Amino acid sequence: MINKNNIAESYYRFLNIPSGDLRISITNACNMNCVYCHNEGQSKESLYFLSLENIKDIVEKTKRYGLTKVRLTGGDPLVHPDILSICRMLKKDLKINNLGLNTNGYRACMLEEICDEQLLDQVVIGMDFFDSNVSKNSLIGPSSKEIKKEEHELSLLDEINKLIMGNKFVEYVATNQLKYIALEASKRLSAITRGRYALEIDENLNFIMRDNMNGGQRRSVDSLSGGETFLTSLSLALALSSQIQLKGNNPLEFFFLDEGFGSLDTDLLDVVMESLENLHSDNLSIGIISHVEELKNRVPVKLLVTPCDVGTGSKVKIEYS
């Protein structure tokens, strides 16, 4: 005979019926192996799941004692295969006004459908899952390795969430692109200068020049000479154009360099021209705009522009070397 003084749930904790709060352990199954549950008798050999009929019978018989609240617990009730149907039955069929559920937090994602139907009035999420001293092994569900993997994935998602807030994601992409372009420019600069110079980026994303023939000394690009500035700018321009060509649907077939050659001495001019000649291919042509006379003999095809007279246009002449 059921009465308000002898109703106990599966772990033999007497229910507080006078307060109108009925706690039902609908299963002793759990995805964790918590110490306090096992001390009360849970074991792998004695798993149970209360059926819809069992739960309905318990609730209907206790409603006569002024039942107003039902709290589903366990184990973890979200492990129960019929948890959605149980919530629907209690909320819609038996008209329980205050329906709650306790979960350990790991399977909280399963609450989405239940909450979408507005079946729960209260959810209590324990944080035992994050305490390795409380929960060490998986009884049902993910293994400890799977848990660690999912924790790692969650941390990555949290990092991504932080990045996409405001302009942080744009800054993140721009920073990585800048580092890539600087690396490519450094390779070109090293080739042009025969390994002497390399381009780096400091923690503030400023360009730094490294002089490998001066003990690897680093200095600001503001201290570069005119020739060094030209070589660095040329390397960055070539790296940037290469990146644009990779990203575009149509290949970049023509590349113009406008001035700057006047800042180079004869030796550096030879090095730069040799590098440009090596870049020339069937798919890429390089144009040079310059007044430097020494370049004329190095360029195979020239467009010679004569300034216009009053009332006439400029004259363009093609010349082959």
What average pLDDT does range 259-280 have in this prediction?
74
State the Cα angle at 117 between 114 and 121, rounded to 5°. Answer: 70
Residue 3 confidence (pLDDT)? 44
Mean pLDDT of 32-60: 69
**From its phi and psi, is residue 260 left (phi > 0), alpha (psi between -120 and 50) or beta?**
left
Residue 73's pLDDT band (boundaries 50, 70, 90)? confident
Q: How confident is the model at residue 282 (pLDDT cuts 50, 70, 90)?
A: low
pLDDT at 7 over 50: no
Distance CA 150, CA 142 (A): 10
Q: What per-residue confidence (pLDDT) applies to 90?
A: 92
Tell me the three state secondary structure of residue 186: helix
> pLDDT tens across 95-140, in order?
898 898 888 766 666 777 788 888 888 888 765 555 444 444 444 4
User: Highest-confidence range of 162-171, 276-285, 290-299, by mean pLDDT?
Assistant: 290-299
Q: Give the model's pLDDT for residue 87.
A: 92
d(CA 255, CA 237): 10
Which of 43-47, 91-95, 135-139, 157-161 shows the lowest mean pLDDT across its residues? 135-139
Higher pLDDT, 244 or 40: 244
Nearest-angstrom CA–CA distance, 59 and 53: 10
Instruction: Dump pLDDT digits (tens) for 291-311.
Output: 777 777 778 888 888 887 777
State which of 74-78, 95-99, 192-196, 317-321 shows the largest mean pLDDT: 95-99
- What does the mean pLDDT of the chain come to? 76
Q: Between the CA of residue 243 and those of 62, 81, 182, 198, 237, what are the distances in Å?
A: 73, 53, 11, 19, 10
Compute the average pLDDT of residues 52-66: 86
- Alpha helices per DSSP H over the chain: 35-39, 52-62, 83-88, 111-116, 144-163, 168-192, 226-247, 266-279
Looking at per-residue pLDDT, the higher value among 145 and 264 belongs to: 264
SS3 category, 95 = coil
Asked if 28 contacts 46 with a C-beta cutoff of 8 angstroms, the reply is yes
Angle between helices 168-192 and 266-279 (to 10 degrees): 110
Q: What percent of the chain has pLDDT over 90?
A: 8
Lowest model confidence (mean pLDDT) among 255-259, 268-272, 280-284:
280-284
- 194 by Cβ neighbours in 10 Å (0-12 / 13-18 / 19+) ranks as exposed
Lowest mean pLDDT, pick from 234-238, 280-284, 295-299: 280-284
Spell out the alpha helix ranges (H) of 89-129: 111-116
Q: Which two tokens stand for residue 9?
A: 């749930």
Q: What percent of the chain is modeled with pLDDT above 70?
A: 74
More confident of the two residues 311 and 51? 51
pLDDT for 88: 92
Tokens of 171: 């800054």
CA distance 104 to 73: 10
Helices 226-247 + 266-279 axis angle, to 10: 10
> Residues 226-253: what's their mean pLDDT?
76
Q: Counting every residue, how long is the chain?
A: 321
Quick: pLDDT tens for 176-230.
888 999 999 999 888 888 888 999 998 888 999 999 988 889 998 888 887 788 8
Q: Is the pLDDT of residue 260 over 90?
A: no
CA distances from 313 to 15, 114, 166, 302 (A): 101, 79, 52, 19
